[in-house]
Structure 1
Amino acid sequence: MEAFDPIDKKILKVLQADARLNTKQIAGKIGLTVTPTYERLKKIEQSGVVKDYVALLDRDKIGKTIVAFINVSLQLHSKPLINVFEKAIAKIPEVMECFHVAGNFDYLLKVVVKDMNSYQNFLSNKLATIENIAHVQSSFVMTEIKYQTAYTLD
């Protein structure tokens, strides 16, 4: 884990709120001049803490109305078969997130699609074609209560 001083944490907090800000704007928000802010920002970026700068889209406005969380169990747990599953999942654009988990299932997938027909197509023509899947259980989001992309920096 990277150790950050309070000023670095302020920079990260500002970036998480609005990554479009330029160095001068960030400096104004954290109470530093541009040069030390620029140097700190470059150091933070070089450390790999900032993975990317992206635009977060409104799902509904781009027609992606179905969010499903899918629990997946594998039949066998050999390293080669796990690798096959993970590589196949990584290639499926509807899978937004994939977690290897402990518990009753092996993986938790977050899948976002346009509608129920698209979900059926995803399930039948993409997920079901991956070898070694033993069981799939889907849960559908009815209402999104909280969506947050910023981490707390204690």
Structure 2
Amino acid sequence: RLNPAKLGAAMLVFIEVHLDRTVQDVMDTFKGAVQARPEILECHLVAGGFDYLLKTRVRDMGAYREFIGSVIWTLPGVRETRTYAVMEEVKATNALAF
């Protein structure tokens, strides 16, 4: 398994994203912009109190502050965000158990 810290991406962060409007053109533009960002590892459209959940990796909190201001807040349609910095990855897998 790769060591994210050795690759300059030690900090794992989840970001709730609220869009200003949940109409197809805004969502399509947002999704296209997210695809172009390597720091965004995953992007999920969710049901509930917000629209998208992003999984991101950055170097440290300083890099995250730069990323949220220069990237996330400039993505099309973003109205509000909430950040959850991961303190410990208890379990991380892509394996499916059937």
Tell me, yes or no, whether TM beats 0.5.
yes
Q: Tell me, which stretches of 5 or more residues in structure 1 are unaligned? A: 1-55
CA-CA distance at 1:131 after TM superposition: 2.6
More helix, by proportion: 1
Query: Is 1:149 aligned to 2:94, yes or no?
Result: yes
Q: 1:119 — aligned with what?
A: 64
CA-CA distance at 1:92 after TM superposition: 0.8
CA-CA distance at 1:85 after TM superposition: 0.5
Q: 2:21 — aligned with what?
A: 76
Q: Distance in 1 between matches of 2:57 and 2:14?
A: 9
Q: 1:30 — aligned with what?
A: none
Residue 66 of structure 1 aligns with an amino acid whose one-letter code is M
Query: Is 1:102 aligned to 2:84, yes or no?
Result: no
Taking structure 1 as the reference length, the TM-score comes to 0.61
Q: Is the 8 A contact 2:33 2:76 kept in 1?
A: no
Dislocated runs of 4+, deviation >2 Å: none
How many residue pairs end up in the alignment? Answer: 98
Q: 2:3 — aligned with what?
A: 58
**Higher Cα Rg: structure 1 or 2?**
1
Q: Is the 8 A contact 2:10 2:57 kept in 1?
A: yes
Aligned-residue identity in percent? 34
Higher relative contact order (CA 8 A, sep 6+): 2
Q: Tell me, which stretches of 5 or more residues in structure 2 are unaligned? A: none
